[in-house]
Amino acid sequence: QQQVKQSPQSLIVQKGGISIINCAYENTAFDYFPWYQQFPGKGPALLIAIRPDVSEKKEGRFTISFNKSAKQFSLHIMDSQPGDSATYFCAASYQGGSEKLVFGKGTKLTVNP
Amino acid sequence: DVKVTQSSRYLVKRTGEKVFLECVQDMDHENMFWYRQDPGLGLRLIYFSYDVKMKEKGDIPEGYSVSREKKERFSLILESASTNQTSMYLCASSFFGAVNTEAFFGQGTRLTVV
């Protein structure tokens, strides 16, 4: 049973464009929703995270939008840059921490110059 | 600078061998995790440990075991390696029970079983 569904599997955008990655979850007990960024040859690293008591969180060019009623959340990358090319994973967990993080299957983002 | 270190970047092992993957963290984290990463399947949890000598199965524990004798070290053991265990293995660590805590990942071990 896949608890976090992520789409699209791959995404190509032009430099300066907006990249949007979507995730949906099933378990209403989830209370922590991080996004991880992974560059080739590296382990994933935390990019940005949100808790369900807010609908949006912005850090620089990266924004998480959260819709609790729809059980969906998304990552928006504004003014996408070639350096943003990476694989992005959404995730969810409960108990407020990273115990048993459940990951989506990942989105490979390519930003063309 | 926080660090999770996996002992090998690349490993090639033969079918049936017993394989040890080692992970060490220097952040005094209680939680440690082993994930497996495969194309199109994302990161799948194999085992995690929230304390020394404590462990819990993740989503895909079959064919694996773990050992945590010291807080900073978490080992993944493939009892009898098989070709379907060829994969990227990622170790991670985090604080236990902290709100909004971050999981820190190692760089991964790419294991090939021939």
Question: Does the distance separating the beta carbons of B107 and A96 come in below 8 Å?
Answer: no
| Residue (of A62, A93, A92, A60) closest to A75 by Cα position | A62
Return the residue of B nearest to A33 by Cα.
B100
Distance from CA of A69 to the nearest CA of B (A): 21
| pLDDT, tens only, B55-111 | 999 999 999 999 999 999 999 999 999 999 999 999 999 888 766 678 999 999 999
Amino acid B52: pLDDT: 92
CB B23 within 8 A of CB B5: yes
Q: Give the tokens for residue A5.
A: 């569904």
CB contacts, 8 Å: A21 with chain B = none
Closest-approach residue (CA) in chain B for A103: B43
- Cα angle for residues A76, A78, A84 (degrees, 5° grid): 85
What DSSP assignment string belongs to B55-113? -EE-S--TTEEEEEEETTEEEEEESS--GGG-EEEEEEEE-SS-TT---EE---EEEEE
